[in-house]
Structure 1
Amino acid sequence: MCGRYTFTAPRDLVKERFGVSLPNDLFATYNAAPSQLLPVITNTTPDTVQLFQWGLLPAWVKDLKTAIKPINARAETLAEKPSFRQLLQRRRCLVLADSFYEWQAPSAGSKGPKKPYRILLQNEEPFAFAGLWDQWVNRDTGEVHPTFTIITTAPNSLMQPIHARMPVILPTREAEHMWLNDTASDQDYQGLLQPYVAEQMQAYTVSTEVNSPGNNSAACAAPFIWG
């Protein structure tokens, strides 16, 4: 599962790294959480960063009160779920980030809180999660609600001691371009949904400041030594 992440790169770096135009209301976040508006690049508008709500609301949903809004989609079962399979074919996106958080449960037989970790690349550069998106239209008002979910996969060797899942980080710019390319095959897309190379990543513990989605400061991402 991926339930929190960061995107703190300066605007100029984002523009250069992804080759896109940016909205004026794109701000750094140290604790991105579900239901927030967060930056994505879609396959239909690959030259622009847009802000979509995290938590997928499929176009076919009728009752918002009972709708499940998944924040993650398992790479291994995308083809088995009709809603995800259709989005894999026609609505893919890059979810912009520069790290993510995961919580390590106490070891068997021990007590204590879950320990939060920040996981990022060794070079600390921004990257993109593989995501799916959709848009729900309010039939009464015509208002459009664009949303997204992050695809997860099995953990690499860095993540295994921390958590049983990790988000799919697309490994190269070529992989990002393929993910947004509508002419690729389902097999090509599925081939990208692999664990990132562990040796190119790093992880360190952070404080429980990150536990609350109401906290959004550099303190969430700061190293913290647990006793």
Structure 2
Amino acid sequence: MVRWQRRANKEADAVGQGELRGVVAMDGPSGTGKSTVARRLAGALGAGYLDTGAMYRAITLAVLRAGVDPADSAAVLRVAEAADLHIGTDPRHASVHLGAEDVAAEIRGQRVTLAVSAVSAVPRVRDLLVARQRQIINEAGARLGGIVVEGRDIGTVVAPDAGLKVYLTASAAARAARRTAQDSAEGRKSTVDATLADVQRRDRLDSTRAVSPLRPAEDAVEVDTTELDITGVLDHLLAIVRDRGLHRAAAAR
């Protein structure tokens, strides 16, 4: 039996619904600032936050710990079905656990990064996780009024009816530089050249996989973050949220 669980946003539960109405779907490749922007947007609106990429990474870590070949689809699925995954929805305290163990740092390591594309390409694993992601979205909508969800197939597959779909882009060089800086800040060793090669590899694998390839939804707002800082992107998205009537205060007027 699959044991998927959500760690509740206790602070948000205590104060009730936030300012976001519905779902903001945020997609894009690695290094575009997606995670930081999504967390800050959710925090600014008192909304829930879901990092779907962390779910795939956690399953990948479970696969590696089990000694399973990421290319063995049947074995990968068995690990995914048995995984005791807990994913947080509080943007201020995003958490990822396998059982009682906090794996938020370990899932960002090179070993997981090199294997996650293969694991996330398994169709039945994607089906399993997408079903759980939709459940979390529905729960957050009922508790908080809205949620910001980030990943690579949110606007196209997970939440195609989202009130706002955003696709963040940036040059490969800019994304590699950002990821290298992040790795260094978090104590992981990397070089810009190695990270650039990995960014290009992930882009190729994610955009060409048969199931849920990385691509913008037809009605997504595309934002190039190459020359923008986080504050600039956040201000732009907050304005769109209000313009679309997804902000409770704006909708009440």
- Larger strand proportion of the pair: 1
- Larger helix proportion of the pair: 2
